Amino acid sequence: MRLTKPFLLLRLGSCRLESFSPVPAEKLPVPHILLTWNGLGGMLGAAFPMVVSTSSIVTSGPGASVSKPSSLRTGRVFDIKRFSTHDGPGIRSTAFLTGCPLRCAWCHNPEAFVLHGLDDGANVREFTADGLVRELERDLAYFDRSGGGVTLSGGEPLSQAAFVLEVLRKCRERELHAALDTCGLVDTGNLASAARLARLVLYDLKLMDPARHAEWTGADNRRILDNLRMLDESPAEVWIRLPLIPGANDDDRNLDAVMELLDGTRFRRISILPYHRIAAAKYQRLGLPNRMEGVEPPSPDRIEEIRARFAAAGFDPHIGR
């Protein structure tokens, strides 16, 4: 399967198909596009303004097609991890949803790049919101004892915004602690709605320089930083997540810029997530270029040094969770 460009802007009634990445399309492993629609004839959009990742557009090769976004009431999940202690407080069940607007060079879940899932969607399961909540709450006894709950991750969960909002709403109704793990490059209205429903937002920060952000993730960080400011003005509980990627974002200049940005916010809890090579085999299997080939994980000394710097600056850093 060969995935190609396009970089364009299409408008059809209230539908808009737009490219948002300044990175030349040919540098990206797959197309980098969002389909933003504010309704069919404005009707649906009034109730469900949403962003749907259509980075699944395949313009050549076997299976070339435009994948249909999931309906408002179903969502696509490529993995469910039980007994996780890395995706929020306590013991949690984490659902990994397909679709993501970014293409981070170090991504551990490249099979989630597109809504139907790469790898011919081998592991993708379609759930109703009720069905997913039932599946996730099977370990309710452990959640209750540990102060845990469920986490929606991906990919970017808000690539399937209507479905995710429905799941979060149902978690609220059941008083189930729900966390949203987001890359931040999402529609601001959807994020605000999700943050009101979730008990916790796990918010990724990667690189502070917009050009370097684009170089390593396929899109600049302007909307990500704007959305972070929006969350800062909301009452949402937010934990910042900083993947620590040697050679990409672990330099002092970037770390200082992260601290400077966060210093101007109310956010203090930071998860430092050191790079590891667990996904190398996936890139090979999926036939995707692996820009991290040969990159070693950061040393324990360097990780501790960075943790200590955040702590000395008044933050609450945690390694790996």
Closest contact distance (angstroms) between CB of 81 and ligand SF4 is 14
- The amino acid sitting at 110 is P
Pairing of strands 125-128, 149-153: unpaired
Which of 89, 87, 215, 221 is closest to 154 using CA atoms?
A: 87
* Residues 111, 250: Cα–Cα separation, whole Å: 25
Residue number with CB closer to ligand SF4 (57 or 183) = 183
* Residues 23, 120: Cα–Cα separation, whole Å: 26
Closest contact distance (angstroms) between CB of 183 and ligand SF4 is 4
Closest contact distance (angstroms) between CB of 313 and ligand SF4 is 25
Closest contact distance (angstroms) between CB of 224 and ligand SF4 is 10
Residue number with CB closer to ligand SF4 (167 or 176) = 167
**Token reading at 243:** 């993947």
Ramachandran category for residue 4: left, alpha or beta (phi over 0 → left; psi -120 to 50 → alpha): beta
* Residues 289, 281: Cα–Cα separation, whole Å: 11
* Residues 180, 94: Cα–Cα separation, whole Å: 10
| CA atoms in the 13 A half-sphere facing the CB of 272 | 27
Q: Within its chain, how far is the Cα of 190 from the centroid?
A: 13
Please state, as a whole number, how many other Cβ atoms lie within 10 Å of the Cβ of residue 296.
11
CB 253 within 8 A of CB 300: no
Closest contact distance (angstroms) between CB of 206 and ligand SF4 is 8
Closest contact distance (angstroms) between CB of 146 and ligand SF4 is 25
**Residue listed under structure tokens 């940005």:** 261
| Contacts with ligand SF4, residue ranges (CB under 6 A) | 100, 102-104, 107, 109, 112, 154-156, 183
* Residues 33, 236: Cα–Cα separation, whole Å: 28
Closest contact distance (angstroms) between CB of 124 and ligand SF4 is 15
Residue number with CB closer to ligand SF4 (286 or 313) = 286
Residue number with CB closer to ligand SF4 (154 or 317) = 154
Residue number with CB closer to ligand SF4 (176 or 180) = 180
* Residues 252, 196: Cα–Cα separation, whole Å: 34
Closest contact distance (angstroms) between CB of 45 and ligand SF4 is 25
Residue number with CB closer to ligand SF4 (219 or 306) = 219
Residue number with CB closer to ligand SF4 (176 or 219) = 219
Residue number with CB closer to ligand SF4 (70 or 153) = 153
